[in-house]
């Protein structure tokens, strides 16, 4: 007898996004640049609320700050689309690289007794 209990649902993939922030500090930005940065934050907050961005934020590395996000999507095409729709990327304020991650599969424990 074959075991048909395994799921055919494809596991989502995880990616790390690494962004280079604007050269200007927030104090040196124009009102328009600050507005774009606020749109960027709202964009990723929305993605987090949708369960796409597991977490995201600034990396406070002295003299070399960056942004980082861990996202969960179906494929690399979705990553490219997410990045291309980021208001700060569209405005040319930040650049983003992404890398696939090897994340152990989720397991569920079953009590068979």
pLDDT by residue (tens digit) across 12-56? 899 999 999 877 666 788 999 999 999 999 999 999 999 999 999
Q: Which pLDDT tens digit goes with each residue over 51-70?
A: 999 999 999 888 888 999 99
Q: How far apart are CA 67 and CA 70, in angstroms?
A: 11
Q: Could you tell me how many residues make up the chain? A: 113
Which pLDDT value is given to residue 113?
54
* Band of residue 100 on the pLDDT scale cut at 50, 70, 90: very high
Query: Does the pTM exceed 0.95?
Result: no
Q: How far apart are the first and last CA of the chain?
A: 21
pLDDT, position 44: 98
For residue 4, pLDDT beyond 50 = no
Contact (CB, 8 A) for 17 and 71: yes
Please determine, for residue 8, whether its predicted confidence score (pLDDT) is greater than 50. no
Average pLDDT, the chain: 86
Contacts of 74 (CB under 8 A, 6+ apart): 10, 12, 13
Question: Which pLDDT score, from 0 to 100, does residue 73 have?
Answer: 97
80: pLDDT strictly greater than 80: yes
């Amino acid at each position: 007898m074959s075991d048909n209990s395994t799921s055919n649902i494809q596991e989502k993939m995880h990616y790390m996004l690494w962004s280079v922030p604007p050269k200007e500090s927030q104090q040196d930005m124009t009102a328009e640049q600050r507005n774009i940065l606020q749109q960027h934050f709202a964009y990723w907050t929305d993605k987090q609320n949708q369960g796409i961005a597991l977490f995201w934020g600034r990396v406070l590395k002295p003299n070399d700050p960056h942004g980082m996000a861990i996202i969960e999507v179906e494929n690399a095409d979705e990553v490219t689309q997410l990045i291309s729709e980021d208001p700060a990327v569209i405005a040319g304020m930040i650049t983003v690289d992404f890398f696939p991650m090897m994340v152990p599969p989720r397991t569920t424990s079953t009590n068979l007794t």
